[in-house]
């Protein structure tokens, strides 16, 4: 994937995702790391709020999923998972389909929307990340 096709904000989100994975000593960068970084991004949070996504519950689920990931010894080299590569390709496809030349945070939001599932706001136990957020 050519990262030159990402906006500065998207590149920043990926960098924050990688920083988080390194801080948690996760050997592999996953889509869940990008979502965790998005939950700290004001632009992304504004969309989650408009869509009435239960942020407190979503953050708990993401944190639990991150805690369940394997860890590596300090100084490990971070690898990019195939599922994250697939996620980024889907973001690129969304951008292309929308006539955009660059992958922006909007395309990440669309990508996350395809991996999040909940029935209704009142039914929070059904808020789950498909594939445990790892895919």
Integer Cα distance of 63 and 89 in angstroms: 25
- In b/e form, how buried is each residue of 103-126, taking b as 16+ CB within 10 angstroms? bbbbbbbbbbeebbebeeeeeeee
pTM of the model: 0.84
CA–CA separation, 72 and 69 (whole Å): 10
Q: Pull the structure tokens for residue 29.
A: 């960068």
- Give residue 65's domain range: 3-133
CATH number at residue 72: 1.10.1780.10
Cα distances (angstroms) measured from residue 107 to each of 45, 61, 76, 112, 113: 14, 22, 30, 9, 10
pLDDT one-digit tens code per residue, 57-69: 999 999 999 999 9
Q: How many domains does the chain have?
A: 1
Q: What is the pLDDT of residues 73-119, one digit of tens each?
A: 888 899 999 999 999 999 999 999 999 999 999 999 999 988 755 44
pLDDT value of position 132: 43
55 contacts 49 by C-beta, under 8 angstroms: yes
pLDDT at site 116 = 59
């Amino acid at each position: 994937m050519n990262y030159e096709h990402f906006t500065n904000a998207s590149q920043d989100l990926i960098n924050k995702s990688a920083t988080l994975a390194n801080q948690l000593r996760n050997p592999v960068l996953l889509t869940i790391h990008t979502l965790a970084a998005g939950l700290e991004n004001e632009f992304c949070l504004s969309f989650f709020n408009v869509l009435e996504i239960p942020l407190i519950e979503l953050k708990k689920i993401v944190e639990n999923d991150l805690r369940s990931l394997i860890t590596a010894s300090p100084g490990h080299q971070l690898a990019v998972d195939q599922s994250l590569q697939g996620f980024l390709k889907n973001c690129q496809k969304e951008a292309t389909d929308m006539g955009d030349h660059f992958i922006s945070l909007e395309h990440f939001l669309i990508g996350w929307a395809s991996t999040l599932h909940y029935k209704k706001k009142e039914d929070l136990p059904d808020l789950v990340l498909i594939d445990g957020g790892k895919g």
